[in-house]
Amino acid sequence: MKISANSKRCVLSPIRKFYPFSEKAKAQGKKVYHLNIGQPDLPTPEAFFEATQAFSQKTLEYAPSPGMPVLLDAVQKYYEKLDVTLKTDDIFITTGGSEALLYTCLSILDPGDEVIIPEPYYPNYRTFINAAGGKICPLPTQPENGYRYCDREKIEGLINANTRAILLTNPGNPTGVMLSEAEMQMIADIARKHNLYIISDEVYREFCYDDSGRIPCMGRIQGIEDNLIIVDSVSKRFSSCGARIGCAITKNIDIQDALMKFCQSRLSVATLDQIGAAALYGVDDEYIRRSVREYRHRRDVCITGLRNIPGVMVEEPMGAFYVMVKLPVDDTDVFQEWLLTEFDDHGDTVMYAPGAPFYETPGSGVDEVRIAYVLEENKLKRAIEILGLGIARYRKEKMGIE
Amino acid sequence: MKISANSKRCVLSPIRKFYPFSEKAKAQGKKVYHLNIGQPDLPTPEAFFEATQAFSQKTLEYAPSPGMPVLLDAVQKYYEKLDVTLKTDDIFITTGGSEALLYTCLSILDPGDEVIIPEPYYPNYRTFINAAGGKICPLPTQPENGYRYCDREKIEGLINANTRAILLTNPGNPTGVMLSEAEMQMIADIARKHNLYIISDEVYREFCYDDSGRIPCMGRIQGIEDNLIIVDSVSKRFSSCGARIGCAITKNIDIQDALMKFCQSRLSVATLDQIGAAALYGVDDEYIRRSVREYRHRRDVCITGLRNIPGVMVEEPMGAFYVMVKLPVDDTDVFQEWLLTEFDDHGDTVMYAPGAPFYETPGSGVDEVRIAYVLEENKLKRAIEILGLGIARYRKEKMGIE
């Protein structure tokens, strides 16, 4: 029986790939510290549960396809505070940011169309783009340069007749790179000049660690109304990953028409979760500020720990809650399996996401890993300590280096 | 800016198309009876809300990508009662049956591949198939023959080198056609002989109105393990459309691999809704039996009412909660707009889903409509009465026929 070529080009999530090994390690009594998944541990605001518990209709009905008015209004007001003026018709509530990304790709990509993405990038982008028959055109970066990618010449050098869009995660997953306002303007200029879409994945928008208090949003830039599709989500902002509530935002009416077709085809997004998500947007801003302070502190703890490990190369990330790290090992995939099957320190071991699948360019990222600093301070310190001990022992036993 | 060719081939939902007109009619003080949407009005079992309200974790986390164990186990046990033996690995929890259909199409279809579907068919199939670059190959039926489609010669006559799958809704939406066991076996034989997938959309499985008590399921047929993908959902079975919980079921391991990639790419399905859905499967079977009795009664009320309208052609549907009806008007699209803008009976009017978009073949279904008999008896009687009055007045005023 035939399987589609597009699905063959998709891959399993590298973030979830070592799950069977970790289950086995846990079954053997090991404690596994998870630095592999961006699952925040902060409590979800009570407002979410209060709102879903207050639901009193007898029948749990379909919601309107582009989203419930109460949530569309809440999103609109939230953007108003960011100085981005939206009509509710510009907003399409989706099942997580993931569905927004898939529908965006299906709306704009024909088979063979290319999307420029700075690498390393969030690996699930590959599935959304491949599902539409598209192709990733990677914009290479260097760990030595903190994975910064905003170089006009390099970006324009990748543009050809098949180029349809530039996809950015800002702040970045997995790198934590944050664009300056000038860099965002440069991307906008390039998109306008070459008639490209900008898919701006801003689900980590508030998680910025410079001291400016700036909250980046492409939606503030004028003149790219027809180019821009913003992808957003409550998952990280409100520590509500399991709600699966996101949205796609665009002022391009052709894209709106296309998105509406996909939204109608799946009828609606879960009703209770939309009601809960609407309540999240009413939570005091101090909730987010406290979360950001916490993650900034964890970043500092994480970077300090990593810098104490000989041979590790890491730049301080300025946003999101990930850091891409170069380890002094031959292959972080092999090293991860070894950590789970052959290593422990007093029964403890650690997981990260191996770096190679974050790259399109073959051979890249083999000695890199993505670390999600989503554990509280003491666990994070211990996890990094284990990583250091593991590196030392692996280098000695497997690489023959003292 | 370019829009994808695949998205251009998709269409807006004909079921939701007259929404702006109905809003306007309501704003003018008219009461609109909705026979257009398959939104059941029966109460959702309390168990759903009790389970979601009992959720006590502080953080609403991602669930496992293929589904939460509690729900996978519940689905497995439910199928056991249908004499279908599944491993939980055969089940992929999805955001409604819709996501199961989209991921199935993305998993099996290359651009240009064809899917045989009896027409009239559920219009959203078009979007799922077009999203993958596929093409619908319609299997025509006749209202005069009750829209029955299971004709070996006709089906085999449509098969060519591009044919990849046969897609069935059993019991049928919009026709209510129910396949006999012999017909299901015939479809299975055809699929096996020609190496085709069977996508069996069984979300209306329990809604069968023959007296046999039979609950049809393709999963019971042996020898098509590699061909079969079942699409299922709690939406209709438990009157829980807004939960958006469905699943794709297959024993074909290549399809399982492909589905897993798509499931991982969107991380997970909403956590609370999965917990609620798991509880639904624990509800006493009497809940479903009562629902089925109620819909059977409504069907009878609906058919009796329709047969009292001169010139209407309708066959008694044997399952689901829809009926396809041929009206004595020139164009049911034009007639619907007229009903909403120019007609009322004591302030009341009615909506249905116009028939043409349920067909692939141009010109078909222009004088047909789909009626969803999801209103309680008195409302349903009144809605059909209004339809009859509307037909009489429209024929007189717009068609010049007394």
Percent of chain A with pLDDT over 70: 100
Q: Which of residues 22-51 of B touch A (CB under 8 A)?
A: 37, 39-44, 48-49
Total residues belonging to chain B: 402
DSSP A279: H
Quote the CA–CA distance of B358 and B333 in Å, as a whole number. 12
Which chain B residues touch A271 with a CB distance below 8 Å? 242-244
- Put simply, the answer to whether A59 touches B43 (Cβ < 8 Å) is yes
CA nearest B398: which of B353, B332, B324, B325? B332
From first to last of the 402 residues of chain B, give the pLDDT tens digit. 899 999 999 988 877 778 889 989 999 999 999 999 888 899 999 999 999 999 999 999 999 999 999 999 999 999 999 999 999 999 999 999 999 999 999 999 999 999 999 999 999 999 999 999 999 999 999 988 899 999 999 999 999 999 999 999 999 999 999 999 999 999 999 999 999 999 999 999 999 998 888 999 999 999 999 999 999 999 999 999 999 999 999 999 999 999 999 999 999 999 999 999 999 999 999 999 999 999 999 999 999 999 999 999 999 999 999 999 999 999 999 999 999 999 999 999 999 999 999 999 999 999 999 999 999 999 999 999 999 999 999 999 999 987
Which chain A residues touch B264 with a CB distance below 8 Å? 12-13, 16, 124, 127
How far is B382 from chain A, CA to nearest CA, in Å? 22
Quote the CA–CA distance of A15 and A130 in Å, as a whole number. 19
Residues B170, B184 contacting (CB under 8 angstroms) = yes
- Put simply, the answer to whether A16 touches B44 (Cβ < 8 Å) is no
Two tokens, residue A92: 């399409």
B250-B256-B261-B264 Cα dihedral, nearest 10 degrees: 60
Fold match, A5-43+286-398 / A46-280: no
Partner residue facing A52 (CB), from B52, B98, B108: B52
C-alpha B330: how far from its chain's center? 26
| Mean pLDDT for the stretch of residues A372-388 | 96
Residues A168, A204 contacting (CB under 8 angstroms) = no
Q: What is the pLDDT of residues A144-201, one digit of tens each?
A: 889 999 999 999 999 999 999 999 999 999 999 999 999 999 999 999 999 999 999 9
The structural architecture, per CATH, of the domain A5-43+286-398 is: Alpha-Beta Complex (3.90)
Which chain A residues touch B109 with a CB distance below 8 Å? 4
Quote the CA–CA distance of A187 and A166 in Å, as a whole number. 8
Q: Is A119 on the interface with B (CB under 8 A)?
A: no
Task: Dump the DSSP string for B300-367.
Answer: HHHHHHHHTSTT-B-PPP-BTTEEEEE-SSS-HHHHHHHHHHT--BTTEEEE-EESGGG-SSTTTTTT
Confidence bin at A219 (pLDDT 50/70/90): very high
The pLDDT value given to residue A33: 96
A-B C-beta contacts closer than 8 Å: 242
Residues A165, A255 contacting (CB under 8 angstroms) = no
The pLDDT value given to residue B37: 86
The pLDDT value given to residue B15: 75
A402 pLDDT more than 90: no
A14 pLDDT more than 80: no
Relative to beta strand A114-118, strand A163-169 is parallel
CA nearest A266: which of B228, B134, B105, B109? B105
Two tokens, residue A80: 């108003």
The pLDDT value given to residue B92: 98
Closest chain A residue by Cα to residue B194: A1
The pLDDT value given to residue B213: 86
State which H helix or E strand residue A43 sits in: none
Closest chain B residue by Cα to residue A64: B16
Is the CATH number 1.10.1040.10 carried by domain B46-283?
no
The pLDDT value given to residue A248: 98
CATH for the A46-280 domain, from 3.40.640.10, 3.40.50.720, 3.40.50.10800, 3.40.50.970: 3.40.640.10
Residues A114, A135 contacting (CB under 8 angstroms) = yes
| Amino acid making up residue B44 | T
Residues B36, B372 contacting (CB under 8 angstroms) = yes
Two tokens, residue A295: 């993650």
Which chain A residues touch B16 with a CB distance below 8 Å? 65, 264
Total residues belonging to chain A: 402
Q: What is the pLDDT of residues A249-287, one digit of tens each?
A: 999 999 999 999 999 999 999 999 999 999 999 999 999
Task: Give the global pTM.
Answer: 0.96
Which chain A residues touch B252 with a CB distance below 8 Å? 1
Q: What is the ipTM of this complex?
A: 0.96
How far is A28 from chain B, CA to nearest CA, in Å? 21
A12 pLDDT more than 90: no
Q: Is A106 on the interface with B (CB under 8 A)?
A: yes
CA nearest B237: which of B287, B309, B308, B182? B287
Which chain B residues touch A58 with a CB distance below 8 Å? 43-44
A343 pLDDT more than 90: yes
Closest chain B residue by Cα to residue A240: B60
How many Cα atoms within 13 Å fall on the side-chain side of residue A218?
A: 34
Residues A373, A380 contacting (CB under 8 angstroms) = yes
Q: Which range (A20-29, A109-118, A233-242) has the least confidence?
A: A20-29
| Mean pLDDT for the stretch of residues A83-95 | 98
Residues A272, A52 contacting (CB under 8 angstroms) = yes
Relative to beta strand B245-250, strand B228-233 is antiparallel
Choose, out of A7, A58, A226, the residue to mutate when testing the contact with B (most B CBs < 10 Å). Answer: A7
Distances in Å between the alpha carbon of A121 and those of A87, A154, A318, A351, B168?
31, 17, 16, 19, 39
Backbone angles phi, psi at B85, to 5 degrees: -90, 120
Task: Dump the DSSP string for B166-198.
Answer: EEEESS-TTT-----HHHHHHHHHHHHHHT-EE
State which H helix or E strand residue B44 sits in: none
Distances in Å between the alpha carbon of A385 and those of A28, A326, A378?
21, 16, 11
Two tokens, residue B328: 């004595």
Quote the CA–CA distance of A335 and A342 in Å, as a whole number. 10
Quote the CA–CA distance of A280 and A232 in Å, as a whole number. 14
The pLDDT value given to residue B18: 87
Q: Is A110 on the interface with B (CB under 8 A)?
A: yes
CATH of domain B5-43+286-397: 3.90.1150.10
Greatest Cα-to-Cα distance within chain B, rounded to the nearest angstrom: 68
The residue assigned the tokens 């301080």 is: A316
Partner residue facing A266 (CB), from B3, B98, B110: B98
- Put simply, the answer to whether B242 touches A124 (Cβ < 8 Å) is no
Q: Which of residues 149-188 of A touch B (CB under 8 A)?
A: 164
Enumerate the β-bridge partners of residue A200.
A168, A230
Q: Show me where the domains of chain A are located.
A: 5-43+286-398, 46-280
Choose, out of A266, A274, A376, the residue to mutate when testing the contact with B (most B CBs < 10 Å). Answer: A266
Q: What is the mean pLDDT of chain A?
A: 96
Residue B350, C-beta contacts closer than 8 angstroms, at least 6 positions apart: B32, B33, B35, B339, B383, B386, B387, B390
